Structure 1
Amino acid sequence: MQQRRWLSRNFLLLLLGQVSSLVGNFTLKFALSMYVLEQTGSAGLFAALLSLSMIPTVLLSPFGGVLADRVNRRDLMVALDLLSGSAVLLAGLLLPRGHSIAVIAVLLVVLSVLSAFESPTVQACIPQMLPAEHLAKGNAAVSQVQALASLFTPFLGGMAYAAFGLLLVLWGTVLCFYLTAGLECGIRLAVQKGQSRNAARTVRQDLAASVRFLRRDRPEILRLLLLAALVSLFVAGTAVVGFPYLVRTALGLPAEAYGLAESAMGAAAVLGSVFVGLTAGRLRLRWLAAVFLGFGLCLLPAGLVFALPLNASVRYGVLLAMFCLCQFGCSVFSTCSITVIQACTPETLMGKVMSLVFTLSMCAQPVGQIVYGALFDRFAGAPHWVLLPSGAVVCLIGLASVPFFAGLERRAPLREAGNKEPADGSREGLSAGKEG
């Protein structure tokens, strides 16, 4: 069989569409976070809005995976981006009429519903476009696109938000979503098998097959996801809720300072994805335990600077450095993990398994965001009482994960990720790869 090219037309169009979509998404989320914090000044309310917006994604992602394996993935991506742009357009029209926080809350929920179907679809497209031996490079390229978008959009979004306000950012986001849909129209993918007449039965069977695959055929992947969800409870709470609250409210710095920090973290994510792309053949899964440990070690100095009599500039610099290191680690961990999962998953289960990956990885995030929103409000004058214990707990989790990652490497080493399983999901494919 003729080998597919590494940078195919389909994959390039997917990457360009991701650039446009992510620029709009990141700019919108940055502007909305700044607007909510400025209007309320409450980390708790900010966290509640973020958590509310994630609930539909957590609940609906498994159904998004079923749909991604049953319809043309290209058509599904086009429809979802058109709907996303229309939702932002409607919010922009309603925002000047009042009740802005309510409008933002509804918009976040609608975008979360659409994201529940889009994220597993995009991830399922990558193995369909690329040969197995290039999956690590493909996932690294997608991670680099995401990181580059997060590098530039916060700084530019901060300038646009400060100069022109929220509405201009909304109109720009609408254009980005519609441009993404136009690019995706050029993608050509094989149509997946159609829906059966009994849709409810199809959903039950598909979800049961993916759950059975994770529990019986690949339990180590399920344990990996549960471990990541546990750490995500701490990391997402401190990074997604805590970092903007610390910069804007605790330190009292302007939106431009937070935008610069977000861009710096985007640069760290770029370096992380580049690192994976350059070392794809030499990375070892056991090294991911050190990444988990590093998350906790980064939270310790971030908390220590608030316990010491330091000025705002020093605290800002330390926070920026520590969270950049966290972003580097997150990029390495997510790219490696997704590559292993994709390489060990049959094509017929790809969308469903990737949707469960997103679901399990996100389950802990709303809880973490709500908890840390309340904690940062409770310890508004002493945030080190939030950061230091969190760092210590994550360090302990990282140390405890060392045997797990060593065992995971023996079962599914990254260097053999190209050895995919047979379509029936049996373990023979991986076993043969290990013996070879």
Structure 2
Amino acid sequence: MTNHDNAVPAGFAGLGLSGTLLKSAAAAGLCEPKPIQQRAIPPLLAGRDVLGVAQTGSGKTATYALPILSKIIGLGDKRRPRTARALVLVPTRELAVQIEKVVRELARGAHVSTAMVLGGVSRSSQVRRMAPGVDVLIATPGRLTDLVREKEVVLSETTWLVLDEADRMLDMGFINDVRRIAKATHPARQTALFSATMPKEIEALASSLLRDPVRIEVSPQGTTAAEIRQHLVMARLKQKRQVLADLLSTGTMRQVIVFARTKHGADRVTRDLLRDGFEAAVIHGNKSQNARQRALDSFREGTVRILVATDIAARGIDVPGISHVVNFDLPDEAESYVHRIGRTGRNGAVGEAITLCDPSEVAKLRQVERVIRMRLPVLRDVTGEPDPAQPRPANAGHGAEEASVPARSSRTWRGQQTASKPPRRSSSRRRRNWGTSRRAGSQAA
């Protein structure tokens, strides 16, 4: 594996892209390349495999879409039935929808066809869309596994493979599916893998799928964007509803995503917000695709300013101008915190992330702090707990600086170490064979 740190010419023109793509990139608002684009586009254009460690909102989609489109445009319109020239694998439907939108914008003016293969929507329409063959297929692993098994999708002609948000696919139990899908693609394919975090399982996956990849890390893995101010509010579970209402009443929270740990919890938070006089919508895996899309559209258009979501359902939300993220519950997986707060502070804008923590969640809080390598500063404490003077984590403060936030109380509650069980790993590790049938759309959040 090689590192790629050489300087590249300024502007997309200096990266080797064609005139058509330069025009469409400019029309899509891409003027100057972001760091991940500067460093990854040249090796991708040169045919190299790429391993990218980059947080949400860093510009990954255009990073791989532009080189792929550059090569596809020169291939002409002849496609074999049921095949895809390029495949982008993603963990959730929302992320797939967002990626297809970007690809279509960047391919404007060129004869490039796209398709999505996702759970939770009509299988027959996807089969019809794939029948003549497409240039770029964006898919979630579960539904694609089904259609490959049924020979409705043929991957032997797929020469570009992208794994986007690989760590989330790991969390959702898709890694075995990903390996099978990759094995079904063209043996001489070019592969790019992007992940916000790099646990051992993703390192192993990258080693098995990528050939002498260029490794590009635009920020230390596990760290969060410098543009995001992070705060902590200590509050008991029964106090969180009032704390959230108080925060939302300040007038500074223009567009907010509130994260709940479970689907039922997300519904409860939404009901409470509506009862407290706030316009809110909710997305999670028990909602239909149409309902989720309506909620997203309402949030994007500003009809509602608060979107309540679970971790999995929120993947792929790319709404400009999100001012705040509120963690109503701490996540089971500490790495999810990085993905959650990455919804704000995008494209150079300053965002704010506020985490509400009950004393019973302190073990999870400490795990989050180890992942992000900083201690979350206490904005407010309403628990009435005494300060147990819990020592800092051994690696806290390495690689990131604590935000300077004045506490609103005279005490800073450092959190009482509890006997809480460690966060559970996802129980959805699925072991499927191409020849086994399963319920369609099971990969939905």
User: Taking structure 2 as the reference length, what is the TM-score of the superposition?
Assistant: 0.21
State the TM-score, normalizing by the size of structure 1: 0.21
Larger strand proportion of the pair? 2
Answer 1 or 2: higher relative contact order, Cα 8 Å, separation at least 6.
1
